[in-house]
Amino acid sequence: MTHRKTLKFVLPIALLLICGGARQAAAQLGTGGSTGLLGSGGTTGNTTFSSSDFFIGIQEVQGVNLTTFDVARFFNQARCECETPVYIFISLLPSGIAKRSTITSTTGTVSVVLGSLCSSVEGQVISNCVPVPGGTEPVLTFLNNASMSIKTDAKTLSSYLAPNTGIIDAGTTTSGADGCTSPNGGQFTQVINVNFDFDGDGIVDVPVTTSVIIDLVPPPAPTGVSVRGGEEALIFNWEQVNQALTTDLLGYQILCSRADQYQVFAGTDTDAGGSNGAFSSAFMKCPKTRPDGGIEALNPSFVCSPLLSAVSSSYRVETLQNNITYGATVVAIDNSGNASQPVVSYGTPVPTSSFYDVYRNGYAANTQASNGQSDPGGAAGGFCAVAVQRPGWRSTGGALIAFGLGAAGLAVARRRRRGRR
């Protein structure tokens, strides 16, 4: 009896303890326990954020994303030296927007960091990982807006942090504004990391990365350039740049100046993108860092030709003025708009004459007539003109009389033949 009474009181207590422990365990799990935000997986509730839930774009004009094609050709030496404004745009895709409601801890930050192998770094400089100035924002603000836009510039994004790609330009490293050179002598890949720490524990939950090509090195200049004068024109010839070594060669363009200082074709140097003159520049040069040099140190206003193909080796610049000396150069241009260093040559357009002009305006024997005046039509003849001087009136009259007698003789012969018939 005693044991039964004891069990009657013990069993309810044990059941209460078991149920209470189960309720406590359930309360600890819920949406904020082990299935909440995890440092390594970005898991929240039953949903997991991944890099595919985010979009990263590059914008030259805020609100307009550059295409993949344009991004691959955007970062060059001119934009770096001019510190052209650039925006990094990060947004949630529809799949990511659908997951926002599952997040319960939003005390962390989102950081934009440059450099390869930097997907675990937040807003601090570690080794070759460099945060973008102004590139840190509370993750709650990002989730509420579903996007963020970080204003930076081409020079910042062109910072060389690690030698992580090979050389594809045959050119040599060129000096420009501070920070706008490539130590490896060619293109390199810049990695942009957008690192999300949702719960503020200092551990990146979801890293999202993209990369852009930085090309700060121009192609080599064409060699064997020759310039010769034509009728109101200059004729250029050059040897092509070896495309096996310079794989991103876009083509060639000619620049020229009158008296080595004046524009040949009307136009103004509007910006690093070129001029509004007769020809548009296919290359870019930053006006504020343009050094002294030939053809106004690659001033786009001095362009004297359209963009010529990468397989071109000659071109004729027309509508120039005869007997005026022009300075000119042929530059090679790569896909990013970098131009080779100008090597200036000089040429003078000269009047030329056709064979007919030479014959009609030629001089008589010894190139001067006896009266000291030019003798049009007096040039020496060829196969069809054997006389060395004009026939006099006597010889001309005798020839006409002989011609008349011959014609009369032929007429008499014809009558006799008819009479015999």
The answer as to whether 364 is a domain residue is no
Any domain includes 397: no
pTM as predicted: 0.70
pLDDT at res. 181: 79
The amino acid at residue 268 is T
Same domain, 155 and 303: no
Please check whether residue 378 is in contact with residue 362, taking contact to mean a CB–CB distance below 8 angstroms: yes
pLDDT at 103: 84
For the chain, what is the domain count?
2
205 with 241, same domain: the answer is no
- Name residue 172's amino acid: T
Same-domain check for residues 279 and 316: yes
261 and 183 in one domain? no
Q: Are 202 and 336 part of one and the same domain?
A: no
* Domain carrying residue 341: 223-347
Q: Closest Cα to residue 53, out of 36, 41, 63?
A: 41
Residues 186 and 284 in one domain: no
Instruction: Judge if 262 and 193 occupy the same domain.
Output: no
Distance from C-alpha of 2 to C-alpha of 235, rounded to nearest angstrom: 122
Q: Final residue of a domain: which of 181, 214, 247?
A: 214
Q: Nearest to residue 170, comparing CAs of 336, 337, 334, 286?
A: 334
Helix (H) or strand (E) holding 164: none
The answer as to whether 12 is a domain residue is no
pLDDT at res. 215: 94
Cβ neighbours of residue 85 under 8 Å, at least 6 residues apart?
60, 151, 152, 153, 154
Contacts 24+ apart (CB under 8 A), 67-74: 71/212, 71/213, 72/212, 72/213, 72/335, 73/213, 73/335, 73/336, 73/337, 74/154, 74/212, 74/336
Residue 410 in any domain: the answer is no
Assess whether 291 and 148 both reside in one domain: no
Q: Is residue 246, in this structure, part of any structural domain at all?
A: yes
Quote the radius of gyration of the chain (alpha carbons, Å). Answer: 42
Residues 208/92, Cβ–Cβ less than 8 Å: no
Give domain status of residue 196, yes or no.
yes
Q: What is the pLDDT of residue 333?
A: 97
In angstroms, rounded to a whole number, what is the distance separating the alpha carbons of residues 33 and 45? 9
Check residue 400 and give its pLDDT.
Answer: 60
Residue 405 domain-assigned? no
| Distant-in-sequence, close-in-space partners of 357: CB < 8 Å, separation ≥ 6 | none
Backbone angles phi, psi at 111, to 5 degrees: -125, 140
Same domain, 181 and 270: no
Within 13 Å and on the Cβ side, how many CA atoms surround 112? 25
Q: Which of 282, 312, 347 is the C-terminal boundary of a domain? A: 347
Tell which of 214, 232, 251 closes a domain. Answer: 214
Q: What is the DSSP letter of 146?
A: T
Overall residue count recorded for the chain in this entry: 421
246 and 165: one domain? no
Q: Which two tokens stand for residue 370?
A: 């006896």
The domain that contains 324 carries what CATH number? 2.60.40.10
112 and 199 in one domain? yes
Which residues are 54's β-sheet partners? 92
For residues 238 and 153, state if they share a domain.
Answer: no
Q: Which ranges in 291-392 belong to alpha helices (H)?
A: 295-298, 355-360
393 within domain boundaries = no
Q: Are 331 and 344 in contact (CB under 8 A)?
A: no
pLDDT at position 282, please?
95
Using a 10 angstrom Cβ sphere, with 0-12 exposed, 13-18 middle and 19 or more buried, the burial of residue 92 is: buried
pLDDT for position 220: 95
Residues of the chain with pLDDT under 70: 1-47, 162-178, 183-185, 260, 267-277, 291-293, 354-421
